[in-house]
Chain A
């Protein structure tokens, strides 16, 4: 198994310390979420670091269940999409995981 990316930490502009996700990057993503997000306390990215870990774990477990239904051992994007579709609290992700493969196709009534 390859080493965790040394590049990923450099690119994120900082060390992660005891948290497994880069706090500076989390903060950037938070700021992008809205114009009125201006001041963020030091602990908010720390909470997110753990929350995102829990989120990734939950999404992955559910996606893996979909993978097993396909009787294979490799998780694909479709498994993640299926997990999103069947979980209520992941409703906010529905638009993200389901895109029309051919947006120029004519709509039929």
Chain B
């Protein structure tokens, strides 16, 4: 090989090594992120024989660099010569899978899972499985933790003897004496169960599940809950009662609120996994207890599930169960002491009306909605209002309108601007459902009042709201109700209000159409071009630019052009700038 050529081909790796030793972390990071380019330059063989050993041996670095490396190696298969050589990637990933930093380790495991699929069945047994075993029997908890995530990906593709070994290793890790490893095993139990043969699920997984679900540490127990859901979905109905239900029942009444929280949080999945019969007999009482739990956290999680739970109840007994068992608990939650509980309930309670139908909604749910609409916490009221559409479909919103109004008015005038902002966002929805008449009578004045709010974000949202209302109610409505009021503000003594007129015109011109814009809005805008406040004048220029496309060309030439030309000679820099910009955009020069 010619000397020069040899030097050339060494160059990339030399640069890499140089940069990997640089003191600046950012440079090291950059060089790791370019790893695939370097590998490509080196070719597959030298990547295998030089680059990978170098990475395996010399890497001891900042977690950021290791994280980037772990991620890169996951998509390196092609660069080492394809599936046939993919096992070359195992050594560096193995050492990354033993690092303390969780993020790095998880990424290494993710990459290992990815490349495990690229191993041939033989390579899997010869190279990959031994690695998993080494990790599983490592000294320090980190490698054992990583191993937990790898059993599931190799199990389906190995011989039955190796399968038996893998099951044995998993069993061992489930009773590891460090809680970190038991947590990892517990969180992977469901995934592992899915790839096991049903007989082994019954003979191996169930005892492990039972043990983990009664671990001395609640952090292990709560992870077993999720596994329980996965396992329940795998078993035939007739085995559920004996194999998983005792443990799940116990979890729903665990002394630690974290475990109960987890049960509440996974309740819909659980319901789906165990089927209608067990739901009726077991889950209904369990759900009632969770809704009445002594910890607000648990009640909140359960309250969030009320609608989904009721929806998925078996149809034949749905209504009876809801009316006799669930609704009484819901009634209590409406006046819970904790705002998060009430707010969670408020975000789903309206959904019950579709399930229960018109009569029940009017008789039982409506009173609850009304209580929540008067709740002391704005979030609860907002959650009710934001879900009005569900009720509208069932009983129509009229039933609620008398109570809605005070609630809306109160939120509209709330001292906190974010509350006001939130209610503005629901205005178009409310307007659509309450109808134009009700709106004109009761809500229009609120919408106009927001235009002169002292917070800009509210004025801005109010402007946008007007546009959406016009989209709903049409241009004629706009002309009769809001346009006169908006234009009236052009004579306000406060320049901020005068600017709001311009912003409204910006938003409304298009939806109102050419006629209204030319006849009513344009004269006002043009008149404002002589305003004494420069901010108003340059906003006139911007406004003209915005509404220009809506106007016809005669109006543009005859009315807009002279005004913009005059503004272009204004003494204020910004006014000039925006006037010139408008002239060029509207092609009036």
Same complex: no
Interface of B toward A, CB cutoff 8 Å: none
Interface of A toward B, CB cutoff 8 Å: none
